[in-house]
Amino acid sequence: MSFATRFDELKAMGDLPSPSGVALEIMRLTQREETSIQDLARVIQADPALAGRLLKFANSASVGVRRPVVAIEDVVKLLGIAAIRQFVLGISVLSNYSHGRCEGFDYPGFWSHSLATALAAQALAGLERVIAPEEAFTCGLLARVGQLGLAAIYPDSYTAVLLSCSHADEQALLAREHEKFVTNHREMTIALLEDWGLPAVHLEGIAASYQPGPGELEGASRVQRIARQLYFSGHIARFCVAQAAEQSERLANLEELAFSFELDEASLERLLKKITQAWIEWGRLLAVPTQEVPSLVNLKEELQEKMERQTSASEASNFTPLRILLVSDDELNCKRFTGWLESMGHSVNVAREGREGLSLVLENQCQLVIYEHRLSGASSMKFCRSLREMKRGQQVYLIVLTGPMSGDEAIRIFEAGADDHIAKPFNYEVLQARVGGGERLIRLREEAEQEREATRGYLADLAVANRRLGQMAMTDSLTGLPNRRYAMERMEQAWAEYERNQNPFSCLVIDLDYFKQVNDQYGHEAGDGVLREIANVFRSSARSSDIICRLGGEEFLAVCPDTASAEAFHVAERLRRAVEEHRWTSLNSTGALSISIGLATSLEEMQHWNDLYRLADQALYQAKRSGRNRVCMASSPDRKN
């Protein structure tokens, strides 16, 4: 059974998140061509809270309003019907699902993170406008809404899944979800957003943003650029919602990602200040929890002080305390064992029952757990097995405190996952010796893991370097466009798809008119500037599905998959007009240059993509002979131009 079919069945259950009545009416209206701005404004005004939020959004700095907007009709005109539809959808889902039945799901924390992601995506879209900032806001807000869906459909089972792995490790959570539900929150997110009508390019960008690392998001396509913005936005959100002790640890990762967006320290500081201020304001408006976020300067000072303290402590002693969890409901034993363990220099947390203990193992990243076998109403075997089923729990050293027991009972405890057991009564020296034995094994495991991490890091760096070398081999160094080698590969791929599906396939051969005169009159440096500018003109004027490449000199190629001749002609004309109307900063003039374009579309009698390319090249020469600054379509291959 496909996931689309399963999603329809889940949808029929009625438990999946969905927009409110007003939001549904707005979505219905925006799908009708005859809907007027006044009709839409009238429905929005029926919900005063929604109207107020829309006014605030329209007047926010990132939208770029020059004067305050006070009328809902003006908001609709400013943002556009599509953006209104998406914004209302996101805010409606947030308002309706601020809490739920899944005990293990942190609803306030989820929306706090989602709101920070939305505002970060909105701010980044203002810096690099891949999609409109108001659209980026909705994409960020709903990028993980599939978690809300799983929590709604499987409240009890999803609690167990969340307890079994760390929330910080999304890849592990996705795998655990798929193992349990034969789907995961990534698939659920895309299915929900597609059902709610978000554009395909937004869905693809959100899906791609789930990559485990930024090295997977280095492409220049629109989808990859959206994914990069959302990936960075998610890390900004994690920085915002992190505990104070964790924020300084997340700083290095944030600065590394900022570098890929060409943001220096001062620019990153300004960006974060803008995002966190908006986060706190929107948090108050939407009843979403937020917190003050320290400046980067203060965080770096705290990090430096922490490192100095750690260095001093390391010099004073080589001892590193263990993070120990004691699970017991005996008040007297808790006080006695905690005192003993702390006198050894270790850090101790206490849980009164097994479920709380499992949660604290994840929360505090415990290294050693001491569990009281006779805990009332609990089973040591069940606790041991549950701990070992967790990824983090597999690394924990587990000591079980027991009373006098038979050999068979001890064997069952070890089979369930215990590393050691101590029979009561025992004294301080026995506990110290057993904890010391556990510490030695823990340190050996940590050293082995550090070596594995170093190896993985080296291999990851090597993979990134190889990808970058491959990208450089396929990229024109002057314009940043794909080069001739890449163009020929894409032609071959598009031709293979044409032969499989028989969908029309077109290509444009483009030549800059009288470019030699530019070099002769202004010099080769100005000529290089013109080539860089025309590459940017092509990027902004072409469709997202078109692949623009530089073949060499002043000659370019556009590969247009799934495109018939009439549509390809419109694409070519749009490129031609964009060049004709462009103001050339390299030449300080408008309309100084033009292009000639030869166009050819696949035909049944063609044998190879070279036939298509040859016809387009012949059409280009026809355009040149006919006076330049024009588009010429190729004749059939059995006729001569």
Catalytic residue numbers, as ranges: 554
- In angstroms, the CA 427 to CA 350 distance is 20
Strands of the sheet containing 420-423, edge to edge, are: 347-351, 323-327, 368-372, 397-402, 420-423
CB atoms closer than 10 angstroms to residue 246: 13
473-to-219, 466, 534, 545 alpha-carbon distances in Å? 14, 11, 21, 22
DSSP string, 36-72: -HHHHHHHHHTSHHHHHHHHHHHTSGGGT-SS----H
Q: 386, 354 in Cβ contact below 8 A?
A: yes
* Strands 397-402 and 420-423, bridge-based pairing: parallel
Which residue type occupies 327?
Answer: V
Which residues, 6 or more positions from 196, have their beta carbon under 8 angstroms from its beta carbon? 19, 27, 89
Tell me if residue 261 falls in helix, strand or coil. Answer: coil
The alpha carbon of 124 is separated from its chain's Cα centroid by a whole number of angstroms, namely 13
At 318, list the tokens.
Answer: 């080589």
Beta carbons of 191 and 148 less than 8 angstroms apart: no
Q: Which helix (H) or strand (E) holds 598?
A: strand 595-601
> Both tokens of residue 543?
């469709």
Alpha-carbon gap, residue 420 to 384, rounded angstroms: 12
In three-state secondary structure terms, 158 is: helix
As to burial, measured by CB atoms within 10 angstroms (0-12 exposed, 13-18 middle, 19+ buried), residue 545 is middle
H or E segment and range at residue 394: none
- Strand, coil or helix: what is 379? coil
For helices 244-260 and 222-241, angle between their N-to-C axes, nearest 10 degrees: 160
**The residue type at 383:** F
Our CA angle for 317, 322, 327, nearest 5°, is 150
Strand 555-560 relative to strand 589-590, pairing: unpaired
Q: How far apart are CA 205 and CA 219, in angstroms?
A: 12
Q: Could you tell me the strand order of the sheet in which 555-560 lies?
A: 547-552, 555-560, 506-512, 595-601, 631-633
Q: Is there a contact between 243 and 302 (Cβ–Cβ < 8 Å)?
A: no
Q: Which of 274, 271, 266, 237 is nearest to 253 (CA)?
A: 237
Q: Residue 475 carries which DSSP code?
A: B
CA dihedral 112, 117, 119, 122 (to 10 degrees): -160
Token digits of residue 548: 């623009």
* Beta bridge partner(s), residue 597: 510, 631
Distance CA 20, CA 423 (A): 59
Residue in this structure with the two tokens 């081999």, named with its chain if needed? 473
**Which pairing describes strands 347-351 and 397-402: parallel, antiparallel, or unpaired?**
unpaired
How far apart (Å, rounded) are the C-alpha atoms in residues 228 and 112? Answer: 21
